[in-house]
A and B are shown apart, each in its own frame.
Chain A
Amino acid sequence: SYVLTQPPSVSVAPGQTARITCGGSDIGSKSVHWYQQKPGQAPVLVVYDDNDRPSGIPERFSGSNSGNTATLTISRVEAGDEADFYCQVWDHNSDHVVFGGGTKLTVL
């Protein structure tokens, strides 16, 4: 089965840029989607199809995807961005949805 690997945690100071990676075999050939989940809340889609943003999501959130790594980039990080972030793909071989293990973003 297809596996997505994320770092357990990422820390960044306010105003700086956070980069959260998602590794997978030839992930660049797949569409990657990203979710933000704050404590006690449901996940929220922040990036879909590698680098598209749903309405209402700030431009500070962007994505890229190439080779074996996809990256969620959050520019000018704010305290309110602190959350768990999950990457997700659809594995066409198994017709299953796959999530990464999640990354806790801490704003110092």
Chain B
Amino acid sequence: EVQLVESGGGLVQPGGSLRLSCAASGFTFSSSWMSWVRQAPGKGLEWVAKINQDESEVKYVDSVKGRFTISRDNAENSLYLQMNSLRAEDTAVYYCASFPLYYFAYWGQGTLVTVSS
């Protein structure tokens, strides 16, 4: 059974940093593209970033470019999202998802990030 479990969310002040983690199991993580998707409260889905198997290809939505960094540790079957210079508009549930062929096959349960003073 595929499992994706996010952690690391919480309350942070504007300008602060947070690191999200996603623990993967039940599939060959090291062979999979992975991605982060977020959803602001009461809003729709927004793709945030994606990364290929060996970290040689990464891509970000324009609104987080230069502030967020996606990375992975294949030995630990883990995906990460380092978020710096956080803004109120980054408040959202952040989902980790497998991204095999340009779609999101499996999703985690999400972790809530709240940016507020």
Contacts and interface: CB of A to CB of B under 8 A. Distances in A.
Q: Do A and B bind each other?
A: yes
Interface of A: 31, 33, 35, 37, 42-45, 48-49, 54, 84, 86, 88-90, 95-102
Interface of B is mostly: loop
A43 B47 CA distance: 13
20 contacts: A33-B102, A33-B103, A35-B104, A42-B95, A42-B110, A43-B95, A45-B104, A45-B106, A48-B105, A84-B44, A86-B45, A88-B45, A89-B102, A90-B103, A95-B59, A97-B35, A97-B47, A97-B50, A98-B47, A101-B44
Interface of A is mostly: strand
Which of B59, B107, B109: most chain A CB closer than 10 A? B107
A33 B110 CA distance: 20
A2 B101 CA distance: 19
Given A96-B59, A99-B46, A42 B35 contact: no
B108 interface: yes
Contacts of B101: 48-49
B61 interface: yes
B101 to A, nearest CB: 8
Interface string B25-56: 00000000001010000001111001000000
A42 B107 contact: yes
Nearest to B106: A45
A86 B45 CA distance: 8
A43 B107 contact: yes
Contacts of B37: 43
